[in-house]
Amino acid sequence: MKKGVLSVLLFTTLINAEDKIALLKNDQTIAHSNRQAVMGIADFGHQEQSFSSAVFYTPAGKNAKTRQIGTWRVSLDKGYLDSLLEQNYPYIIPSRYDKLLFEKDMATVITPTKDITKKMSMKPFSYTTGSKYDFNQKTLQYLNSEIAPKIQKVLAKASDVRYKQMASDEAENFLKDRAKETGVPAVILERLINSSFVFSVYMDNLNGAFYINQYRYKDAKGHIITTYSTSYDASPKFHLFVYEFKKNKFILHSEITSQALHPTSRSITTSTMPSQAIAQDVIKNFLPQAIKENIITLALRLKKDDLFKVFAPLQNVDGSHVELDIGNQENIRVDHPFSIHRNIDGKEKIVGYFKVYQVGNSCLSLKKSQRTYSKGSVFIGGAEEADVGYEHPWSGIFLQYYAKHLDSTFQYNDKDTKGGAINALGFGTHIDLGYVLDDISFSEVWFNANIFLGTGSEGTMTIQDLGIIDKKASSFVLGFDLGMEKRYYLSHGLFVSGGSDIHYEIQNFDMGKNGYSDTVNLSMGTLSLEPKLKIGYNFSPDTELSGFVGYDYVMTTSTSYSIGDNDPVDIDGYDKDSGLSMGLIFNMHTDFTGIFTNMYKKPSRKCNGGI
């Protein structure tokens, strides 16, 4: 699909927030979200077509300093930007929506069971560059001059065909059955069917910089090899505009923003010092990651609006087990969390949360008898048959903060030095692989990647080569943990998990000068395997606190010393004991996928595919 408006002019049968609350107050009805159709503007709005960015250079060498060496001017390829937007629109407009696509003089409504095409005169939307305000105003002007006059005619036809399709396939009257199901009169449902939404995306100036890093190393033959790594670092701000068709014209319903907390960086390596000629390739390498990461975040934040959540009554409730009749058609993912809503004294209240562990096959192209329910398990609070499950906006990715203690110490020639027991603080990420990969085989399998800083206990350290014997010293510690664990939920927010980390640490002991012209440093690197057991508590799907105990099984230790800036010298005699580990962990949800963006699986295309 190319150009003009790759659109979603969305007729929606989604019940609005006020209607949902009204339904929950009515004991005789149970709320259920219905499909909506969406339109997305294919032109990627951006502020500048051509711009200059500073270039910084860092030569190889231990004490090398970074300096600015000039500026490079680059331009953004409009066609390339539009194609990247089109590739990533399925995150915002997945198969839970029907789509209205405009191309040349044809309008096509894509539903799970049928494509409806209607010939109509349509002037294509085109936008080059300008401010966010200008983009918004020109988009509104286009929608109200080209789309609004035609929308009623298109949506009426689409609604009619969808009604006929459902009546023939399911032998029921669409409007009457929906009225019975939701408690909303058929005339109100008919009004809801004729409401519409449109999406468009805009990117601010990149405001980044080019960085060139020189590297030198020796190959297998001892030859010195020099390479240059050139990257573009920027953290551009993205905007998702949501337009609503109301009272025969489009208005701005909401503006959702996204800006990565860290610069997105992608590099190109060359054997010679790069010049201006490489700038376009570096930018082209940078954009896919930046756009995808922010589009995913915008899609997640869109779901904070009740109008774009899916919800359904809970069925077959048995203890912690629940089922609901939405699934892959609505792009529910493995380990997808839902909030549980209940009508208590006429007021809607959240009484718990559950996660879907088996996604149902809810494709509307299937006969009703062939569709299956999604199955979930309550992990906070409780559920009853009359409750309603609401989709909870979630990425499956957490920021992780932790404090840990490792009890193991270094041995020198089988003598305990007492040095090297670690107290450290760490930071990193904790990821639900089942959700990110949308794969049931990874349900509640969590991956963590962390770095930590800390101190090692004081010990009596020896460097025989330098005549330093039993010198008391403590260490500074730097390291990382990579691990996986399998989680099991108990009740009332409690969970247990078991898994293992790969642990690597470097401890540097300051041994003083000891008669030498500069400070003597003793450095020890340790690689270990750390199986652990964890017990934790979920305050909500977005925050959790846990504690763990483990055993740090040391696999290898390497030791060296250096004097000042001189090259390190390897020595023998040191090993590290295996020992107990323990710690506290706090996890906080983030809607940025960051370096894990490329792991993030697109919404299911099994039923009807994204754009």
Identify whether 285 is part of a domain: no
Residues 333 and 251 in one domain: no
> In the structure, what pLDDT confidence band is assigned to residue 172 with cuts at 50, 70 and 90?
very low
407 plus 381 within the same structural domain: no
Q: Is residue 22 part of a domain?
A: yes
Do 401 and 387 belong together in one domain?
no
Quick check: 479 pLDDT over 90? yes
- The pTM of this model reads 0.83
pLDDT per position as a tens digit, 190-209: 433 445 688 999 999 988 99
In a domain, 315, yes or no: yes
**33 and 165 share one domain:** yes
pLDDT at 186: 44
Residue at which a domain ends, from 391, 414, 439 = 391
Residues 248 and 112 in one domain: yes
On the question of pLDDT at 26 being above 60, the answer is no
Following CA atoms 497, 499, 504, 508 in sequence, which dihedral angle do they give, to the nearest 10 degrees?
40
Residue 41 inside a domain? The answer is: yes
The predicted structure's pLDDT at residue 105: 61
Write out the two tokens for 251: 């208005």
26, 202 in Cβ contact below 8 A?
A: no
In this prediction, residue 296 has a pLDDT band, given cuts at 50, 70 and 90, of very high
Residue partners of 231: CB distance under 8 A and separation at least 6? 210, 211, 213, 265, 266, 267, 268, 282, 286
Domain membership of residue 331 (yes or no) is yes
| 361 and 468 inside one domain | no
Same domain, 363 and 437: no
Any domain includes 284? no
Among 260-269, 301-310, 324-333, 506-515, where is mean pLDDT lowest? Answer: 260-269
Q: Looking at the structure, tell me whether residues 581 and 492 fall in a common domain.
A: yes
The helix/strand/coil state of 605 is coil
Q: Are residues 508 and 549 in the same domain?
A: yes
pLDDT in tens, 322-358: 999 999 988 899 999 999 999 888 888 999 999 999 9
Kindly state the average pLDDT of the residues 219-225. 86
Q: Where among 364, 391, 418 does a domain terminate?
A: 391
Query: pLDDT confidence of 566, banded at 50, 70, 90?
Result: confident
State CA 244 to chain mean position distance: 27
Q: How far apart are the first and last CA of the chain?
A: 8
The number of distinct structural domains making up the chain is 3
Give the tens place of pLDDT for each residue, 65-93: 999 999 999 998 888 998 898 888 888 88
User: The sheet that has 347-358: what strands, in order across it?
Assistant: 311-313, 388-391, 336-344, 347-358, 374-381, 321-324, 315-318
Amino acid at 307: L
- The domain in which residue 384 lies consists of 311-391
According to the model, what pLDDT value does residue 27 have?
38
Kindly state whether residue 221 falls inside one of the protein's structural domains. Answer: no
Residue 582 belongs to domain with CATH number: 2.40.160.20
Res 481: pLDDT:
97
Q: Are 143 and 181 in contact (CB under 8 A)?
A: no
Whether the predicted pLDDT of 32 surpasses 70: no
CB-based contacts of 297, cutoff 8 Å, min separation 6: 238, 258, 260, 395, 591, 592, 593
Final residue before a domain boundary, out of 391, 423, 442: 391
Is pLDDT at 253 greater than 50 in this prediction? yes
Lowest-pLDDT range of 4-8, 99-103, 544-548: 4-8
Helix (H, G, I), strand (E, B) or coil at 120: coil
**Same domain membership, residue 572 and residue 470:** yes
In a domain, 557, yes or no: yes
Looking at the structure, do residues 36 and 139 belong to the same domain, yes or no?
Answer: yes
Instruction: For residues 428 and 467, state if they share a domain.
Output: yes
Distance (Å, whole) CA 474 – CA 419:
7
Angle between helices 174-182 and 186-193 (to 10 degrees): 110
Q: What is the pLDDT of residue 185?
A: 37
Query: Distance of CA 12 to CAs 97, 134, 193, 194, 559, Å?
Result: 9, 28, 5, 7, 66
Looking at the chain, the whole-number percentage of residues with pLDDT higher than 90 is 57
